[in-house]
Amino acid sequence: MSEVIKKYFKLTVGILTLALAGFIFFMSMRPSSLEESDLRVWRASSESRRLAAVEILTGSGDNLDIMAACVDRIAALPDSGKMKVRDAAALCAAGIALRENGK
C-alpha cells in the first residue's frame, strides 16, 4: 500500500512541476513593455507609465498629453482591447500631424 501512495505522490509532484514550469514560461512570454501591449493593459496602467510610453513611441516630448488623451479615447471604444498601443499611438500621431498641417 505504501508503494502505491509513493507512486501517486511522485506522479502528482511531477505533474505539478510541469504545470508550474509551463505557467512560468507563458508568463515570461507576455510583453512587459506598455508600448508592445494591447489597450487593455493601457487602461490598467498609471498615468506616468502612459506618458512615458507615448514619449518612447513618438520619440519626442511634444503633445504628450494630447497623445495620451487620444489613445485613452481609442481605448474607451468598444472592441478596442486587442488593438496594440503602438498602433493607436500611430493613428493619434497621424491625426495630430494632419491637424497641425491644416492650420
Please name the residue that has the C-alpha cell 519626442: 60
pLDDT value, residue 17: 94
Contact criterion met (CB below 8 Å) for 91 and 75: no
- Number of structural domains, the chain? 2
Domain shared by 95 and 66, yes or no: yes
**What per-residue confidence (pLDDT) applies to 30?**
65
Q: What is the distance between the alpha carbons of residues 74 and 42, in angstroms, rounded to a whole number? A: 11
From first to last of its 103 residues, the chain has per-residue pLDDT tens of 688 888 899 999 999 999 999 888 887 776 567 778 888 888 888 888 888 888 888 887 778 888 889 999 999 988 888 889 899 999 998 888 888 887 6
> Do 5 and 36 have their domain in common?
no
Kindly state whether residues 39 and 89 are assigned to the same domain. Answer: yes
Q: Name the residue range of residue 44's domain.
A: 32-102
Q: Do 86 and 58 reside in the same domain of the chain?
A: yes
- Could you tell me if 71 and 85 lie in one domain? yes
Same domain assignment for residues 39 and 19: no
User: What's the CA gap between 57 and 68, in Å, rounded?
Assistant: 11
Output the pLDDT for position 31.
Answer: 59
pTM, two decimal places: 0.66
Same domain, 23 and 55: no
Query: Is residue 62 located within the same domain as residue 86?
Result: yes
- The pLDDT of residue 103 is 65
